Amino acid sequence: MRCPYCQGVESRVVDSRASEDNSVIRRRRECEGCKRRFTTYERLEERPLLVIKKNGDREYFSREKIFNGINKACEKRPVSLEDIERRVGEIERELRDEYEREVNVEVIGGKVMDRLSKLDEVAYVRFASVYRQFADINSFIKTIEQMKKNNFDGG
């Protein structure tokens, strides 16, 4: 593993931990050259999953895009990175279990909105405003009314 600081190739593992669902191993390493520490993640290489976008284009599934979308929606909200990472992991596992090769972007957006509706109401509305591309204030109000009707529980 190449050191991100000095580019040395010799390092030793200081600590290893599995994630909650045992799908990722986090390793703390120390470079033998510069003695600085860095973290690596070991993940099983999954079969490729393609996302069918609204315009019909296809691109490879990106866990980072989901993480970035949820993280942006939760900005300045009392939501921990662990909570976000847990939701991203749940969504990815569901998609890989339910879809063999391709999944529609609307399915992914729906799963994100479902998780956010249970996590934080402000984050949910933020994400919905971008995802649904509200054309006017009435569609925004309609989403909030629907959320109130569904008894947001915030848990």
Name the burial class of residue 119, with classes exposed (0-12), middle (13-18) and buried (19+) by CB atoms within 10 angstroms of its CB: buried
Average pLDDT of the chain is 88
Which residues span the domain enclosing 32? 11-43
Rounded CA-CA distance 93/87 in Å is 10
- For residue 75, the 8-state DSSP code is T
How many domains is the chain built from? 2
Domain contains 126: yes
Residues 85 and 93 sit within 8 Å (Cβ to Cβ): no
Check residue 155 and give its pLDDT: 44
Same domain, residue pair 56 and 130: yes
125-144 pLDDT, tens digit each? 889 888 777 767 777 788 77
Check residue 9 and give its pLDDT: 94
Q: Residue 30: pLDDT above 60? A: yes
54-82 pLDDT, tens digit each? 999 999 999 999 999 999 999 999 999 98
